[in-house]
A and B are shown apart, each in its own frame.
Chain A
């Protein structure tokens, strides 16, 4: 079966750095996406990786290793507004997005 694993919840301190991991087993691979979802709101797109390596976008970076079925989202200089759920999703061979259950990130002052 297809599976995306990510931690259920993480806690970090304002101004610090946090890394959210995602491992996947899917039938085929056509890219990995990270989305942010604030409570009661729609998911919003953060990043896309299809080749191995690091993609940087401001305070957020995303890394992919296809051989290991592994990705992480790195958030730097954490702000209170970064408190949200972070969803990892993989596009499989049918171009369907397979989603993880999300990681709830709690930022403390």
Chain B
């Protein structure tokens, strides 16, 4: 495996379900990110981890819970979601937080909440 991988690629869940999204990076990077991408809207940064420590939580509802067990893996635990949470969830990694490190993205998980 190379780059950034995400599983599952597609997920349909009811509002009462609990599920988890998984991200793994094979680039030796130190920073990892969760983004939400909705149609025709800018990417919304949700969480940032640097050396396994959470550095940013951009006012994300508590129904989204991140976990970063090591620098290579990142999870997003989901529970009691709302239909407006349906979106593409992208994971990214970078060598560090400061410039000029670009972010490398995974293919995303297309989430549908019914």
Residues in chain B within 8 A of chain A (CB atoms): 4, 40-43, 45, 48, 56, 90, 97-100, 102-108
Task: Tell me if A105 counts as interface (CB < 8 A to partner B).
Answer: no
**Does any Cβ of B come within 8 Å of A4's Cβ?**
yes
Chain A interface size band reads: 20 to 34
User: A residues bordering B, Cβ < 8 Å?
Assistant: 4, 8, 30-31, 33, 41-45, 48, 50, 87, 89, 91, 94-102
**Contact residues in A for B45 (Cβ distance below 8 Å):** 96-97
Q: Are A44 and B105 in contact (CB under 8 A)?
A: yes
A96–chain B nearest beta-carbon distance, Å:
6
A100-B40 Cα distance, complex, nearest whole Å: 10
In the assembled complex, which residues on chain B have CB atoms less than 8 Å from the CB atom of A4? Answer: 42
Report chain B residues within 8 Å CB of A98. Answer: 42
**Beta-carbon contact of A42 and B42 below 8 Å:** no
Task: Write the nearest CB–CB distance from A38 to chain B, whole angstroms.
Answer: 11
Measured in the bound complex, the distance between the Cα atoms of B56 and A98 in whole Å is 13
A-B contact count (CB 8 A): 47
Q: Is the pair B104, A45 in contact by a Cβ cutoff of 8 Å? A: yes
CB-defined contacts of A97 to chain B, threshold 8 Å: 43, 45, 103
3 shortest interchain CB distances as A-B pairs: A42-B105, A99-B42, A99-B43
Give chain B nearest CB distance to A9 CB in angstroms: 10
The CA-CA distance from A42 to B56 in the complex, in Å, is 22
CA distance A96 to B104 in the complex (A): 15
CA of A96 to CA of B97 in the docked complex: distance in angstroms?
A: 8
Given A42-B108, A43-B105, are A30 and B40 neighbors across the interface (CB < 8 Å)?
A: no
* CB neighbours of A42 from chain B (8 A): 4, 90, 105-108
CB neighbours (8 Å) of A91 from chain B are 99
Nearest Cβ distance between residue A106 and chain B, in whole angstroms? 15
A89 to B43, CA, bound (A): 9
* Docked pose: A52 CA to B42 CA in angstroms: 25
B14 CB, nearest partner CB in chain A, Å: 24
Q: Is the beta-carbon distance between A8 and B42 smaller than 8 angstroms?
A: no
